[in-house]
Structure 1
């Protein structure tokens, strides 16, 4: 009897293509991925390619053993899965008592877990260490890197949350290669579609257009990523230029209303950006003060000459339009329904679910915004009922109430009256708005409403008639409404904060 033992080769790495079927070839590796330690003193960890799954934890029976006072005996499970291109990935499920964190967010115990992508950060409770995962297939040569598409977390490090809303959260992020700070809009998960590759190609085509947009009054699109988060859903990361001076909304809240010359300078920039979008056949569809961002350069000394009629401590105020083209990322129907939920700035044709609306919807919203800036409250609201706010919009029922409009010249009322026209065919387009006399006249002319007597205005006299507020009607200013919402804890989430 021979005492020699038969040698069994287990998980021998294969260094050449292994034909699996006539349609594809894959590489088989002993290790499918590697966890690179981001914690001082913790070694890197190899993840074996084990079809039955990999258990990571403190127990000696685990496939991968890690240490830490709050690490569970079985902390998590990794399972192999393949996408539509037969690319293998790992799904991770939390089995622990003290938490598993993916990209600094607690995963939550039990299924469904999430899919891990190269660059994802994994933290095992508080003491188990933090790691960055990298798939073996993604460790590419310089030549291969020219065509290799990195994941979001390979390119960026997420930071603090800046805002949240109905369909996305906004976070700060740092570019790993340049150190630049950007804003990232992270959309809530969508179910994976069967024709996902077709949808991604269409989205990429739209994204290429948005990235090509370059205008000083428009927030710049930088990139986007579509990442799977589990077996059933994906999310989109939209990378944008970050603005550091807040929204026009907050400026109105702080001041109650804006000065006429200040408003004119802001709207020159706003209309310039909007004209650029419309010339590129892009409809914004959500013009409101929350989506107009400001980049303010402080004044360093009193002798420094300002670029416009800004506040005493401001040298320059740059206006930038944000959140244009978002229907491409969250879906046309969902986007329109969200707008209809808060219709103060929405054009009548949107409320009637007319899918054939044009760039004129932006001009209506611009008229509402101009009204708000000058008096501090919107032309259409529940506080002005009856009729209801919806009916006010559908019928174009608004007025320039005294005493709020007493010191504002008829020439700007004429512009508003030509923007808030229910019939979109009769409403001003952006070119007509830009060329309106209000933007041509000298700022000194507008200081008195009597100076417009000699002007030929485009509106009928009845359209710009000033009326006294009814005894039972009291407009609620943007500021008062905001304070009320804060006091009662009903402040509306807003995801446009960049």
Structure 2
């Protein structure tokens, strides 16, 4: 670092300390402008060693960067426009940021993606990489507030973009997208779930962020071989009014249980049992830590498959021929904390095939038993390939089927499956929460032991008639209802293929 640049940095640090001491005398910080004030708001560090950096001055009006001498900051390059971009200062989350807009002919790149000429532009964060066309150079953004914080405190938390390099999109859902990312310091590949932007809070923002951090500390402490590991989380500004949560997770490389069911149509009974032993182990750990998942479904059960290196290698379980070991991991637990309780519940109720009756009743006092209902639905789906509750099975509607616990085990799909499994499913799909099995009762069930136990078998021989008529007259939840009627419900494989026909080739290839 040159002596001139070092002096400039020292002056900025000293100014920030003086102003910070003055600002802390005000008890109502949240209603004030950002605490730190500097002559320069940020510094763009040149990515080329030995090349000069750029100080971004504090101005009430727009700061223009380009080749022209009339610009506030002049840069050189054969394809740099006379006026290449403009920066304005904006407040977000009680802090100042730079908002950059491309006004060039040859392009402005942020994190190697072309921004596009004209508004709206993007908010710059510490760690962002900006490039001026092809010959104008590349720079890393650092705000003076961050430079000062890192000098003054060992506990300074970097932004997501300082810690990670974002990669390809892995998937998307109702409330988030999932992308691959690489840790800048270790090179480890992780998955990052980026929740859709939320409007930031105002006066109570600090309290909400503290509450979120408290919940995150609990999730970060979770350590179990059948649960996807939380690594960290970040709250990043998106624009002047919105923020997004970045949740960094362990990356799984073998896909979802959902895709396995799609590929195979249904799972073998011994294979399903091996999966569920692991699933219930992870679920037991969550429940012991007072964490309710609330969204157990095949899309949220991830697989970590170790391939078999030779036919002589003894498998660890009843897996497919080329698989040595399959590890089940529960994902997306505790996400209500990140997207809001009401929004989360409403999202679940939009596709309620796996949702417990008490959730559909909007009972806010539901317990860990909601996960056990969803586990029962999942067990049913794994063994026959379609869900126990569906509008195609009506009337009544799927919601009414769930609320009243109306389901059956159809022939021929359940003919070869032992009654002991049906008994377990019936004990999990009990509408009365008091009658429904918890994790310990489920793990202690006869299905997971070597022996078998006798259960009552009730068969509906009225083929062609609605099986619901006979089911609703049965008083005990423990009676297993086998039906000779053919179900009209679409398998999840058929439903998936049907949905795939409704989307574009590009979307289809990204999913597959």
Give the shorter-chain TM-score range. 0.7 to 0.9
Distance 2:493 2:418 in 1: 23
1:469 equivalent to 2:485? Answer yes
1:260 aligned to 256, 269, 286, which one?
269
Residues 241-283 of structure 1 show CA distances to partners (whole Å, capped at 9, x for unaligned) of: 1101000001101111100000000000000000111111110
Distance 2:457 2:396 in 1: 33
Aligned to 1:243: 252
Change (3 A) 1:21 1:52: farther
Judge conservation of contact 2:405–2:431 (CA < 8 Å) in 1: yes
Structure 2 residue runs without a partner (length 5+): 1-7, 26-34, 459-474
1:152 aligned to 152, 155, 160, which one?
160
Aligned to 1:59: 68
Distance 1:395 1:109 in 2: 57
> Residue 79 of structure 1 aligns to a residue in which SS?
strand
Change (3 A) 1:141 1:116: closer
> Residue 479 of structure 2 aligns to a residue in which SS?
helix
Change (3 A) 1:397 1:100: farther
2:492 aligned to 478, 482, 492, which one?
478
Please give the residue correspondences for 1:176-255 in structure 2 after superposition, counting only pairs within 5 Å. 176-194=184-202, 195-255=204-264
Post-superposition offset of 1:468? 1.0
1:31 equivalent to 2:45? Answer no
Distance 1:66 1:113 in 2: 20
Residues 362-381 of structure 1 show CA distances to partners (whole Å, capped at 9, x for unaligned) of: 01100000000001111111
Judge conservation of contact 1:409–1:452 (CA < 8 Å) in 2: no
> Residue 499 of structure 2 aligns to a residue in which SS?
helix
2:372 aligned to 363, 386, 399, which one?
363
Distance 2:164 2:140 in 1: 13
Higher relative contact order (CA 8 A, sep 6+): 1
> Residue 304 of structure 2 aligns to a residue in which SS?
strand
Judge conservation of contact 1:113–1:230 (CA < 8 Å) in 2: no
Distance 2:421 2:478 in 1: 15
RMSD, aligned CA:
3.0
Post-superposition offset of 1:148? 1.0
Aligned to 1:429: 438
Structure 1 residue runs without a partner (length 5+): 1-9, 443-450
Change (3 A) 1:178 1:12: closer
Residues 184-208 of structure 1 show CA distances to partners (whole Å, capped at 9, x for unaligned) of: 0011110011111110000000000
Q: Single out whichever of 168-177 and 70-79 deviates more from structure 2.
A: 70-79
Distance 1:161 1:348 in 2: 34
Post-superposition offset of 1:94? 3.4
Q: Single out whichever of 150-159 and 103-112 deviates more from structure 2.
A: 103-112
2:447 aligned to 413, 435, 438, which one?
438
Aligned to 1:6: none
Post-superposition offset of 1:70? 5.5
Judge conservation of contact 1:377–1:475 (CA < 8 Å) in 2: yes
Judge conservation of contact 2:457–2:480 (CA < 8 Å) in 1: no
Post-superposition offset of 1:340? 0.6
> Residue 139 of structure 1 aligns to a residue in which SS?
helix
> Residue 235 of structure 2 aligns to a residue in which SS?
strand
Post-superposition offset of 1:439? 0.6
Residues 13-48 of structure 1 show CA distances to partners (whole Å, capped at 9, x for unaligned) of: 564444589434966655332222346997543322
> Residue 269 of structure 1 aligns to a residue in which SS?
helix
2:410 aligned to 394, 401, 412, which one?
401
Judge conservation of contact 2:163–2:185 (CA < 8 Å) in 1: yes
Residues 285-344 of structure 1 show CA distances to partners (whole Å, capped at 9, x for unaligned) of: 000000000000111111111111111111110000000000000000100111111111
Judge conservation of contact 1:42–1:129 (CA < 8 Å) in 2: no
> Residue 395 of structure 2 aligns to a residue in which SS?
coil
Aligned to 2:127: 119
Post-superposition offset of 1:57? 2.6
Change (3 A) 1:159 1:20: closer
**Alignment coverage as a number of residue pairs:** 473
Change (3 A) 1:12 1:284: closer
Aligned to 1:447: none
TM-score after normalising by structure 1: 0.87
1:418 aligned to 405, 427, 441, which one?
427
Aligned to 1:5: none
Judge conservation of contact 1:99–1:109 (CA < 8 Å) in 2: yes
Distance 2:322 2:377 in 1: 28
Distance 1:112 1:454 in 2: 65
1:139 equivalent to 2:147? Answer yes
Distance 1:341 1:74 in 2: 49
Post-superposition offset of 1:392? 1.4
Change (3 A) 1:422 1:184: same
TM-score after normalising by structure 2: 0.85
Post-superposition offset of 1:227? 1.1
Distance 1:186 1:367 in 2: 30
